Amino acid sequence: MNSVFFGGHEARACASATIFIRLAVGLAVFFPEGLQKLLFADILGAGRFTGIGIPLPGFFGPFVGVVEILCGLMIIFGIATRLATIPLMITMCVALLSTKLPILLGHDWWIFHVSEMGRYGFWSAQHEARADMVMLLSLMFLFITGAGRWSFDHWLWARQNARLGASSTNS
């Protein structure tokens, strides 16, 4: 059997390949979406939050934009990756509850307003939620696995272990 697919190389390859999830989450989604919430506040930030029914949209629009920018950058570079996923998972849960649940129900829910659409119900909500679900599951993956080998987190861990190993051999 080929050791590339079975054995020690697999774990190292998976740890290295985690960078692709980090780039998808940080570079393709959260960093640019956070910037756009600030650059185009009327349509993607506070203005959109007003239409959805998010309370205090003038505060939460820019706040979420800054959180997405900072946490997106942390994930891209692998800096405190597990910690950076937490506010973004909260953001994704709020997005699903505030925008996709009203589509599923076909009417406003709690303080959140349903979008004008051609259809509502399970399949419409599923279609609209697909990117949100991929982001939420990718964040959960990073929370569980960490940043992988090509990250600042891994560099710090390796440096700390090297220092601990050197100090234990000197004792």
Instruction: Give the three-class secondary structure for 74.
Output: helix
Q: Would you say residue 53 has pLDDT above 50? A: yes
Q: Distance (Å, rounded) from C-alpha 60 to C-alpha 111? A: 15
1: pLDDT confidence band, cut at 50, 70 and 90?
very low
pLDDT of residue 40: 97
Pull the structure tokens for residue 71.
């946490």
* DSSP tag of 21: H
Average pLDDT over residues 116-134: 93
Element (H, E) at 22: helix 8-22
Alpha-carbon Rg for the chain, nearest whole angstrom, is 20
Indicate the pTM of the whole model. 0.84
Please state, rounded to an integer, the average pLDDT across all residues of the chain: 89
Q: Which two tokens stand for residue 53?
A: 């029914």
**Average pLDDT, integer, range 69-94:** 97
29: pLDDT strictly greater than 80: yes
